[in-house]
């Protein structure tokens, strides 16, 4: 049970860092993190990538990292559906 809560928390954290918290988005743009070489710039803007790497770093298990990434994608999908509902 604790592992499930940890994975859900990591997935929510990945979404929070990638797109959820507006002051952090402004900071990422001001620091020009998107222009970092190779893959590192996209890491901070992609919820899937960030979920995978955070899950991998925290749990140190590739399968739990993949599950975290998938959960981050589901949470983003739900967030987008809710946002579209309230925009209409």
User: Quick count: other Cβ atoms within 10 Å of Cβ 4?
Assistant: 10
Examine the pLDDT at 88 and tell me if it is beyond 90: no
In angstroms, how far is CA 29 from the centroid of its own chain?
16
Tell me the residue range of the domain where 61 lies: 2-87
pLDDT, residue 15, reads 86
Question: How many domains does the structure of the chain reveal?
Answer: 1
pLDDT, residue 64, reads 93
pLDDT tens per residue across span 34-79? 677 766 666 667 788 889 889 999 999 999 999 999 999 999 999 9
Quote the tokens at residue 52: 């995978």
User: Quick count: other Cβ atoms within 10 Å of Cβ 67?
Assistant: 21
**CA dihedral in degrees (74, 69, 59, 41; nearest 10)?**
-130
């Amino acid at each position: 049970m604790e592992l499930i809560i940890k994975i859900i928390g990591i997935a929510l954290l990945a979404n929070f860092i990638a797109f959820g918290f507006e002051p952090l988005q402004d900071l990422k743009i001001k620091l020009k993190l998107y222009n970092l070489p190779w893959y590192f710039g996209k890491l901070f803007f992609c919820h899937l990538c960030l979920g995978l790497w955070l899950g991998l770093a925290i749990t140190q298990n590739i399968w739990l990292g993949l599950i975290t990434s998938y959960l981050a994608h589901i949470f983003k999908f739900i967030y987008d559906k809710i946002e579209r509902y309230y925009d209409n």
